[in-house]
Amino acid sequence: MKLKKFIFIATVLIGFCPIVNAYVGSEPGIDENKMQSVSEKKGFSVNKPDFDTDAYSKIYKKVTKDGAVMQALELMNSVNISKYSYRALMGNNLTQKPVKIEFRNLSEINPEYASFEALGWKDKKKDRLYIFINEKHRNAPAEAIAALLAHEAIHQDEINSLNEETFAWTLEAGTWMKLAEKNSSVYNHPSSLVTRENNLKKLFEKGDYTNKYIKKAVYTNPGYKNLSTRSPGFEDENL
């Protein structure tokens, strides 16, 4: 019997709600029928101020139908720090297919996921990656959504590690800070996702722009106690 693996990518110690990666098989946890229906639903388009969703719909039609996600993707493509993640979301990943991204009520998939920031899901049968962002973040600044997606794009398989989490959290912090350089008002936005990103920013700055304190938070997080140090692509302990 195939197993369904759940990788909790959360830094609970610094006040983050979990993100979970689910890899579909046949172990209790996710209702696969609900997940299938979610993947077939149409996305809901949200336009941010001064962003023409229609102008970008052809570029991003294989990834999302949501204007807020499109704007986040455009921001990711505008700075070097998040371009690897951008390309991964567009299809340059282990599946070689664009990642499907939507806002969702995660409790509809599993009540335990109601407070989670996002759900990363891989359909092994279709060999396709999905990212469902908690709908509570729909009105978060595009910069914060972009930072979250920069993190999520790193996780492309069933094997997670402390090194991989450290890299993903650090990339998320760096992306948030870089994008906020052009719009510092986002630091004060009343969004729980912004609170999350600002917490990461503090750890990054405390470590003098190294992963020192982010790594410490990852390594001491009880939610990661069963993770190995390394995973494919993240073998270097000095990451």
Alpha helix positions (H), the chain: 32-40, 53-60, 67-76, 83-90, 142-152, 162-180, 192-206, 212-219
Which residues, in sequence order, are bridge partners of residue 132?
Answer: 102, 119
What is the rounded CA–CA span in Å between residue 53 and residue 46?
8
- Per residue in 72-86, pLDDT (tens digit) is 999 999 999 999 999
Q: Taking a C-beta distance cutoff of 8 angstroms, is the pair 14, 203 a contact?
A: yes
pLDDT of residue 22: 45
In this structure, of 22-26, 51-55, 177-181, 183-187, the range with the lowest mean pLDDT score is 22-26
Neighbours of 193 (CB within 10 A): 25
Cβ atoms of 115 and 196 within 8 Å: the answer is no
Predicted pLDDT at 10: 35
> For the chain, what are the domain ranges?
5-224
